[in-house]
Every structure is written in structure tokens, then in C-alpha cells.
Amino acid sequence: MGPITLDHYVFLSAALFCLGVAGVLIRRNILVMFMSLEIMLNAVNLLLGSIAAFRGDAAGQVFVFFIMLVAAAEIAVGLAVMVMVYRNTGSIDLKDLSNLKW
Amino acid sequence: MKNLLVVLIPLLPLLGFAVSGLFGKRLGKSATGLLASGMVLLSFLCAAALAMLHFRTGDSAIVVNLFSWIRMPGLSIPMGLLVDPLSLMMVFVVTGIGFLIHVYSIGYMHDDDGVARFFSYLNLFTFFMLVLVLADNFAVLFIGWEGVGLCSYLLIGFWFKNHAFNGAAVKAFVVNRIGDAGFLLGLFLMAMTFGSLSFAEVFSRAASFGSGAPAITLITLFLFIGASGKSAQIPLYTWLPDAMAGPTPVSALIHAATMVTAGVYLVIRSNALYALAPLTMAIIAAVGLATAIWAGLIALSQRDIKKVLAYSTVSQLGFMFLALGMGAWSTGFFHVFTHAFFKALLFLGAGSVIHALSGEQDIRRMGGLRKALPVTYATMLAGTLAIAGIPPFAGFFSKDEIFAKVFEHAPALWAIALAGAFVTSFYMFRLFFLVFHGEFRGDATAKHHLHESPKVMTAPLVVLALGALGAGFAGLPEIFGAPHWISDFLAPVTGRGESHLSHATEWMLMGASVATGLLALLFAWVRYGVKGRVPAEDASVTGVARWSLGKFFIDELYDRAIVKPLFRFSAWIHDVLDRRGLDGAVGAIAGISPWLGQQVRLLQTGNTAFYLFAMALGVFLILFVATLR
Amino acid sequence: MMSSILFYGLSTLLFAAALLVILSRNPIHSALWLVTAFFAVAGHYVLLNAQFLAAVHVIVYAGAIMVLFLFTIMLLNLNKETEPQHSLLVKLAGLVAGGMLLVVMVGALRRSSAETASDLATVHSGTVGLVETLGKVLFRDFLLPFELSSILFLAALVGAVVLGKKELGE
């Protein structure tokens, strides 16, 4: 095992991101899909943070901070929507959300 | 100063048109009529002043270039006005007789609701007619040509609530368009051949082509098609009798005195071209003579007073073209000149009769109007004598001159023309005796209502009657030793035609035509004056007379051979090409979108998981392609 | 050497937690494994000497977001093992899709890698991730976005309230 370089973080992030994608694809529960989405966001955050650390550029970490802000806002609204969906359809099953289908 | 006068001549009626058209309702009926008449009178005075100022000095033409109208490589057309003896004479005819007819209209149209409209149209017509005669190139002439056609259409359909009148207006317009198409082709060909449409340039360049050149023959033929449309020659004459649907002053001004002579004017104006096209001249002579006889035969048995006059106009126009076909330009114009007087007079007289009978036009319900309408009677007599060619009335001189020219070139044609003159005299006196002599054949209320027309209508009649009496003296035959004033005046434009007939021959010709006229008078007098015969009811007419009454069924022939097939063709185009072809194609193209949408719509399954898969796949593909590069 | 061990340990933890998030049948278990994953990420931040990010991450994710998730699960009464599942085929397809994406990504990244020579040892001595440095950058260069983000939060707040409140007469 050599020293830990940026490459390690890059591959770790890629793996984590793909795990998130797989999670979105294989689950039908919207809540869990949201969680997978968070994993993807974290993968990106980790990548950005590590690049900033290795390059010595503080702006990258500030961006991570902003991403966190947006993610928090997104989750707040997304979960509110989910509650609405549940109230209206009685479930949060992806299959039930097909009202816009022709 | 002179240029200003030239411009004012057409501009004044245009002003009158604008004012009476825009403010006519507010001005009131009499004011509008006075204004319109005044404008034409002013125009006439301008022309008179111009003649005084300019033509005394012997200089022959004024050209006024207002502005450059069309300019392109190889062809430039200025908006130019030309005043030479020919156009000046035409201006005098148009504005002089036009003025009298305007005045007459004040009385005739007094009870009509559309007086303002009527006078604005009349003024507009005068404007276009003046543009036509004052044009200094064929393109500007064409403006006037189309403009008078438009006004003719508007005035024929003046009483637009009557559907048949509208039909007559449309017919006049469409038939004229056939001629105009020929005219236009002639113009294009002319522009191609000579690279110019200006009279002076075209005529001077044509001289180098020599006689009988195919291009010139073709151009002149096309122009003649236009002329025969406007001047109601065979085969395009059918619109003119129907055009009598318009108010009678319109018939007098447009369809007798001025517009229909535009074709004659066109040929006289282009005489330099026609002189180089013997074939066209022969055709013109043939068509003219045929029309003269043909229309005369139809006029023999018409019952409508205006229809008789209409066919007589067609016939007289035929005589004019006959003269032109002989190359006797100034003679043709002389007849235009005299004809304008006596035909306008006859129409206005007929209008006076119709006015007295509250709109009745059938001569079988007239008769014995001599006492009730003394002025109309006297003036109509002058007009009838003039058209019948009885000396010393105007028609005698001009018609005699035509016959002399015809005899000089083709004695056989002269004999036929003489028969035409006999027919002319006969149907005119038939009309005259049926209307004014014998017993009144209308009902009692109409008899009670009979009255002479007001002064405003009879005064123009009197003036025109004097013209019908005196206009002929403008062109005395050579044998009287007096100068032929018209021919001398027009010499710069038409050249001087020399007569080679001996005096004895001329006396003989004159005697023959006078004898013919008198003989026809006698026949008509015996038949309608003494025996008091009245045209039979339509149904009982048989044999040759039936053909004459039915106008030789030319209208029906055109209807069957041209109009109906055209309608069927249009209907076919509408049904097949338009509905199925064009609409179908557009519909099909429009139908593709919904169909495509229908197909693409199937991709939208509404299954979110599927969308997610598609998105992941898309990301995968993008990355994959990006990596491969 | 120590950092290597820590890196691999944290990575393994992170990966395992994330895997369990997407594989657990019970949403509550998923949420709990998600917390674990968040802490592992925070550990990574510490390892990168990004102390500020680590703190904020724990506060925002493990604190705020996880609480929201758990509240929602509670509200919707979802702590059942019987939640609907995709068919096995779809699950397999999802895993394959994710895997393929990983392969392509790794393939793409491999080409551009190997030029960064520095390692974690040099990162430890840097001051990039310290609160002082980030604070200066944040309030000097990114002041406007920072302030604007407060408006975003306000909008999200109002939106969440409007969406979540019961309609009149319901």
C-alpha cells in the first residue's frame, strides 16, 4: 500500500456515486431513493473537498459548503412534497406516481 | 404656364372626384353636380387656353415629363403627358361633351340617392380618359385605359342593388380584360422589340423595320385586340349592349362618346405602326365592316330604346375601324368627332324620354311623344338625321368621307358599307317614328305623367343638337373647295391623305349615300309612320327576324362555348386541385404531426423507474463516447 | 502509514454503510445506515484536514437532514418490512447499470490520473481546510452567494410549510 493520493479519493467517490445511482434504480420507495440521492451528493462533495485539499485551494471547500446548503434546502422541500404525495395517494410507491402518463 | 395648363387638364377632374367623393354627402346634390360639372368645364377652358396660347404658333406638340415612373436597365418609362393636335382634339371632345353630360346628369340623377357617388365616378372617369388621351407613352396610356375600364364597371353597376346590372358590369369588365390582355402582350412585345414605350421613340424606331415586318404585325394585332375589346368590335362586342344597365348619361358619355372610341384613338395614335402592317390593316377593315353590318342587323329588331342605340354605337365604331383599315386616320377621327356629338345627343334624348316615362325603356310602350316632349323631339330629330347621314348634318360629312376612302381602296367593300348605311338609317328612323310619332301606347297613368324634361337637361340637348348640325363643317369634302379643317389640324400626327378620286366620282358617291339614307327614311316612314306598325311580341317573331331579335344568339354561344366550360373548369379546379390536391396535401402534412406525436407518445410510459434507467443509460453513453475519443 | 490505514478503514465503512442503505428493506434501517455513512464521510473530511467541512457536514447531514428523514418516516408510518419492491430482474438491471457506470467512470478517470504526485502527508500540513482560511474566502470572495443562499433557505422554508400544511376544510 503506497501513500494515499488524490486518485484514491477519486475512485472512492466514483464508486460511492455509482452506488447511489444503483440505489436510485433498484428501489421503489421514494424515501430511500432520496437517501441514495444524498449518497450521490456526498460522493461529489467528497471529491470536491479532496481536490480542494490536495490542490490547496479553499474555494473548492467553499463550494462543498454551498452544495450542502442547497442539499439541505432540497431535502426540506422534497420531503414536504413527499408528505403531500403520501397524503394524496396513501403511499410513496414510485409505481403509483404515474398520473401524468398518457 | 403651358406645362401647368397641361397638368391641370387631367388634375381638375381628379380634384373634383376627390371632393365630391369625400364630401359629396355634406355638399348636397346640386352643389356636388355643379362642382363636378365645373371641374370638367375648367378643364375644357384649360385646353382652350392651351390651344390659344400654343397652337396658333404652329408648333405641334408639348411634352411634359412629370416624373420618372419606371426605370430599369433597357427600359425607362416617364410619367409623361403629350399635347399634340390629336390629343388636344380628344381632350376637347372628352371635356366638352363630358361637361354637357355632367350638366344633364344634374337633372337626370336628381332623384337618385347616390348623386355624390355618381358624380365622383363621372369625374374619375373624365380624369382617366384625359390621362388616356394625354399620355405620351403606351404605359401611361394603359393607366388611363384600365382606369376608364374601372369607371365603366363602377358606373354600369351603379344601381348595384339590381343583380342583373351587376352581372352586366362584371361582363363588361371581364370582356374588356380579354382585350386588355392582348394590349398588355402588345406592350411587352413592343418594349422587347423597341426597348421603349414612348410614342416618339417607338414610331421612329419602327420606321427602320420596313413594311410587313412580323414583329410589327404582331404588335399591331395585339394592340388591335385591346382596341376591339374597348371599342366593342367582333368578337368582343357583347359587353356594350349589356352596359346600358348603367344610368343613361353614363351610356352617353362612356359607352357612346368617349371611352369606346379609345380603341379608335389607340389605332390612330399608333398609325405609324399600323401603316407598316398591311395584314393588320386588312384585318381591321374586315372586322370593322363586319361589326358595322352585324350590329346594324341586330339593332333592326331591338325593343329597348337604349339597346338600339347601343348596337348603333357598335355599328358606328365598326365604320370607324373600317376607315382606319383603309389607312384614313384623320377620316376615322373625324367620325369619332361627329359621332361623339350625335350619339351623345341620341342617348341624352333617349334619357329624356325615359325620364318622361318614369323609367320605361321599351319602345312598344312609347309613341306620339312629339307633342309632350317638343325639345327632345326636335333635338332627337337632329341626331337621327345626323347618324343617318342626311346633309347638312354632321354624320353625312364624316360617313361620306369614310365611304369615299373605302371606294378608293376597295369598291366591293363600299357596296357592303352602303348596305350598312341603309340599315343604320332604317333602324334609327324606326326608333324615331316608334317613339315620337303615332299614338301613345303606354297606360293612362304614364300618359298623364308625361312631361318635358327640365331646362338643365334640355339645354345640353340643344347644344349637342347644334353640334350634330355643325360639327360636320369642320371637315368639308374637297369638292366644296373649303379647307378640311380636321385633316389639316391632325396632319402633324396622321400625315395627309391624298384623295385620287375625280370630282364626278365623289359627287356620285355622295349622291349614293344620301339616296340610301333617304330611301331608308322613306321605308321606315311608310312602315312605322304611315302604317303605324309596332314590333310584335317576342314569342311571335319567326325566321330571320328572330335571329336579329335574339342578337344572333351570340351571347348564348359565348355562354355555352366559353363561360359555362370555364365555370365547369373552375369548379373542377376547386373540387379536384384545390380541395383534394392542395387542401389534401396541406391536410396530409398537418396530419403527420399528430401521427408522429401519437407514435412518440408511446415512449412516455409514465413509469418513473424506466425514466431513471433511461437517464442512467444516457449518462453512461455520454461518458462512454467521451472516453472512447 | 497511519493515514493509509485510516483511509481504507473509513472507505470500507463508508462503502458498506452505503450498500446497506440501498439494500435494507426497512427504511428506518436505511436511515440509520445513512447516518453511519455520513459519519464516515465526516471522518474522511477530518483525514483531509478539512475540519470546517467535517463539522458542517455532521451538523447539516447527521443533524438536520437525518432528523428530517426520520421525522418523515415516522409521519408516514413506514417502519414496515413489507414495502413494495421491484422485481429481481429490475434490481439486477439497476445494479448492472450502476456497475457499468462505475466501469466507464473508472476507465475515464484512469486516463487523466497519475499526474497528481502529492499525497495525504502534504495535505495534513496545509491550512486550506481550517475555519480561519475558509471564513476569509467565504466572507470575502463568496459573500454575495452566501447571502443569496439565505434567500434560498427562506424560499425552501416557506415552500416546505406551504406544501406540508393541511389544506383548509381537509
Three-class DSSP category at C121: helix
Cell of B178: 380579354
> Are C136 and C168 contained in the same domain?
yes
pLDDT of residue B57: 59
> Are C136 and C92 contained in the same domain?
no
CB–CB of B604 and A101 under 8 A? yes
Q: Is B532 left (phi over 0), alpha (psi -120 to 50) or beta?
A: left
Q: Is residue B283 part of a domain?
A: no
In this model, does residue C40 exceed pLDDT 90? yes
Q: Does B604 touch chain A (CB under 8 A)?
A: yes
Which residue type, as a one-letter code, is found at position A16? Answer: L
In sequence order, what are the residues at sequence separation of 6 or more whose Cβ sits closer than 8 angstroms to the Cβ of residue B12? B39, B40, B42, B43, B46
Q: Does A12 touch chain C (CB under 8 A)?
A: yes
Residue C19 banded pLDDT, cuts 50, 70, 90: very high
> Are C64 and C135 contained in the same domain?
no
In this model, does residue C147 exceed pLDDT 70? yes
Separation in Å, CA of B571 to nearest CA in chain A: 44
Three-class DSSP category at B362: strand
Scan for cell 434560498, then name that residue: C152
pLDDT of residue B592: 92
Cell of B398: 364624316
Mean pLDDT, rounded, for C53-70: 89
Which of C56, C83, C110 delimits the end of a domain? C83
pLDDT of residue C11: 93
Which residue type, as a one-letter code, is found at position B482? Answer: A
pLDDT of residue A101: 62
Instruction: Show the domain range for C169.
Output: 130-170
pLDDT of residue C169: 59
Q: Does B608 touch chain A (CB under 8 A)?
A: yes
Separation in Å, CA of C132 to nearest CA in chain A: 11
> Are C1 and C70 contained in the same domain?
yes
pLDDT of residue C18: 93
Q: How far apart are CA A84 and CA C15, in angstroms?
A: 32
Q: Chain-centre distance of CA B426, in angstroms?
A: 25
> Are C59 and C17 contained in the same domain?
yes
Which of B276, B308, B342 delimits the end of a domain? B276
Closest by Cα among B548, B347, B533 to B441: B533
In this model, does residue C117 exceed pLDDT 80? no
pLDDT of residue C103: 86
pLDDT tens per residue, range B246-284: 888 888 888 888 888 899 999 999 988 888 888 999 999
Separation in Å, CA of A61 to nearest CA in chain B: 26
Ordered structural domains, chain A, with CATH: 6-91 (1.10.287.3510)
Separation in Å, CA of A33 to nearest CA in chain C: 8
Cell of B550: 335574339
Residue C57 banded pLDDT, cuts 50, 70, 90: very high
Most C CBs within 10 Å, among A34, A36, A51, A77, to test the C interface? A77
Q: How far apart are CA C94 and CA A21, in angstroms?
A: 8
Closest by Cα among B425, B442, B443, B422 to B534: B442
In this model, does residue A42 exceed pLDDT 90? yes
pLDDT of residue B318: 92
Cell of B594: 399528430
Instruction: Show the domain range for B621.
Output: 556-628
> Are C2 and C71 contained in the same domain?
yes
CB–CB of A57 and C128 under 8 A? yes
pLDDT of residue C165: 79
Q: Is residue B125 part of a domain?
A: yes
Cβ-based contacts of B613 with chain A (< 8 Å): 25
Q: A: neighbours with 3+ CB pairs under 8 Å?
A: B, C
What count of Cα atoms within 13 Å lies in the side-chain half-sphere of residue A41? 23
pLDDT of residue B452: 82
Count up the domains in chain B and report the number: 2
> Are C99 and C55 contained in the same domain?
no
Taking only residues 38 to 77 of chain A, the set having a beta carbon closer than 8 angstroms to any beta carbon of chain C reads: 38-39, 42, 45-46, 49-50, 52-54, 56-59, 61-62, 64-66, 68-77
Residue C115 banded pLDDT, cuts 50, 70, 90: low
Taking only residues 104 to 163 of chain C, the set having a beta carbon closer than 8 angstroms to any beta carbon of chain A reads: 105-106, 109, 113-114, 116-121, 123, 126, 128-129, 133-134, 136-138, 141-142, 145-146, 149, 152-153, 155-157, 159-161, 163
Sign of CA dihedral B405, B406, B411, B416: negative
The domain that holds C72 is classified in CATH as 1.20.120.1200
Q: Is residue B604 part of a domain?
A: yes
Global ipTM: 0.89
Residue segments in chain B with a per-residue pLDDT below the cut of 70: 55-60, 481-482, 497-499, 538-539
Separation in Å, CA of B575 to nearest CA in chain C: 58
pLDDT above 70: percentage of residues in chain C: 85
Separation in Å, CA of A62 to nearest CA in chain B: 27
Is the overall model pTM greater than 0.80, yes or no? no
Which residue type, as a one-letter code, is found at position B621? Answer: L
> Are C76 and C104 contained in the same domain?
no
Separation in Å, CA of B611 to nearest CA in chain A: 10
Q: Does C35 touch chain A (CB under 8 A)?
A: no
Most C CBs within 10 Å, among B615, B621, B623, B628, to test the C interface? B623
Closest Cβ opposite residue B623 in set C93, C104, C111:
C104
Most B CBs within 10 Å, among A17, A18, A19, A25, to test the B interface? A25
Q: Does B57 touch chain A (CB under 8 A)?
A: no
> Are C103 and C117 contained in the same domain?
yes
Nearest-by-CA chain B residue for C107: B627
The CB density around residue B212, as the number of other CB atoms within 10 Å, is 12
> Are C1 and C75 contained in the same domain?
yes
Cβ-based contacts of A5 with chain C (< 8 Å): 116-120
Q: Does A13 touch chain C (CB under 8 A)?
A: no
Q: B: neighbours with 3+ CB pairs under 8 Å?
A: A, C
Which of B252, B276, B300 delimits the end of a domain? B276
Alpha carbon of B496 to those of B330, B357, B486: distances in Å? 8, 48, 11
Q: Are B243 and B197 in contact (CB under 8 A)?
A: no
pLDDT of residue B60: 67
Most C CBs within 10 Å, among B605, B611, B613, B627, to test the C interface? B627
pLDDT tens per residue, range B358-406: 888 888 888 888 888 888 999 999 999 999 888 888 888 888 888 888 8
Q: Are A56 and C128 in contact (CB under 8 A)?
A: yes
Q: How far apart are CA B513 and CA B389, in angstroms?
A: 7
Residue C152 banded pLDDT, cuts 50, 70, 90: very high
Most C CBs within 10 Å, among A33, A34, A54, to test the C interface? A54
Separation in Å, CA of A10 to nearest CA in chain C: 8
Nearest-by-CA chain C residue for A58: C128
In sequence order, what are the residues at sequence separation of 6 or more whose Cβ sits closer than 8 angstroms to the Cβ of residue C137? A58, A59, A62
pLDDT of residue C120: 67
pLDDT above 70: percentage of residues in chain B: 97
Residue C10 banded pLDDT, cuts 50, 70, 90: very high
**Partners of B78 in the β-ladder:** B68
Q: C: neighbours with 3+ CB pairs under 8 Å?
A: A, B
Cell of B348: 341624352
Mean pLDDT, rounded, for A15-42: 90
Burial of B321 (0-12, 13-18, 19+ CB in 10 A): buried
Residue C170 banded pLDDT, cuts 50, 70, 90: low
Count up the domains in chain C and report the number: 3
Which of B276, B310, B340 delimits the end of a domain? B276
In this model, does residue A102 exceed pLDDT 70? no
In sequence order, what are the residues at sequence separation of 6 or more whose Cβ sits closer than 8 angstroms to the Cβ of residue B317? B231, B232, B233, B260, B261, B263, B264, B288, B291
In sequence order, what are the residues at sequence separation of 6 or more whose Cβ sits closer than 8 angstroms to the Cβ of residue B441? B364, B365, B366, B367, B534
Separation in Å, CA of B590 to nearest CA in chain C: 40
Cβ-based contacts of A85 with chain C (< 8 Å): none
